[in-house]
Amino acid sequence: MAPTAIYATTGSADFTSSQPAAQQSQAPQGPVLAIGSLTTASDEQYQRLVTGLSSDGSKGKVERQLIDRVLDGGMTLLAAHYSAIYIILSASDYAQLGTRIPSLIQVLFTSLQPHATLHLVSLSSADASRLRSELLLAGFNILPLVSSSSLIAQKPATAAAASLKSRTGALPLKRKVDGTSKAAKQRLWTLEAPSASTIDATALLTPSDLARPIPTCEPFLDGQPRRKKACKNCTCGLAELEEEETRAAEANQKLVAVDVSQNGGVTEFDAKEKERILKGLADIQAGKVTSSCGSCFLGDAFRCESCPYLGLPAFEPGQKVEIDFGSDDI
């Protein structure tokens, strides 16, 4: 721990002239930083502090900053740059700082040179007690002072010697790393050990696994009767065969027209005429075709060449025209 110093003070108001008598020979040289607030600037306390520091010939160049610029990062403090820092804030300023005080003290600690001092002036008793604890935790040495409204903290020559961990006497214990144990842990979490033998995947299959699966639909063989129809989700091709057979059966069906009159007969249509009639019926049922003459129901003698009813027997007006394929055998 750095040696303490005895102050020769001339009064609590003359905070700029108090210097450690035992350390005047080793006092750091460099600029001095004065930090204030809008509150202390409005009541001219900050101006008096700056004036007193500037009039002291033993101090270096005096730099001025407001506390909000330091906290918000508007001004970056250089590391190990200042020989002394003076802070004058009001009680309301310390109340607004709240939990930001430790971070502020750490920034100030970094910007001070070794053996440099931090001066906190115009403090209340509550603020002085709280700041004393925060300064000790940050690594400062609190120097004795007669005035109860001020605190002077000194940065030690080595920051590590004044840290909290060193104050408690605790030293970090480093465990010796064993290379063999580290490699064993890595092998523990690997998916496959280098010495593990390779397993043949086919050796894990049983004879039942290797057997050919039985299809849900039995394969269709020509010349043999089919025992069942294709299932709903057929994948063996039986559903396609049944669909092809259905289309072939429909194509081979004959279309006939029966005249139900006394001297009527049966008219059979060829495939082309059948396709035309069925298409016309589909259009009629879908509502795509309307009669322009209104005589389609009377028969072919009253129908035009493009009439969709051409070839169909006469029907009653408004009657739905249907063809019964069950009469194909007539």
* Binding-site residues from annotation: 217, 231, 234, 236, 293, 296, 304, 307
Can you give the length of the chain in residues?
Answer: 330
How far apart CA 9 and CA 32 sit, in angstroms, is: 20
Three-state DSSP at 36 gives: strand
Three-state DSSP at 70 gives: helix
From the annotation, which residues make up the binding site for [2Fe-2S] cluster? Answer: 217, 231, 234, 236
CB of 257 closer than 8 Å to CB of 269: yes
CB of 132 closer than 8 Å to CB of 144: no
How far apart CA 32 and CA 84 sit, in angstroms, is: 5
Among 43, 143, 152, which Cα is nearest to 92's? 43
H helix or E strand, kind and range, residue 278? helix 271-285
From the annotation, which residues make up the binding site for [4Fe-4S] cluster? Answer: 293, 296, 304, 307
Three-state DSSP at 237 gives: coil
DSSP 195: T
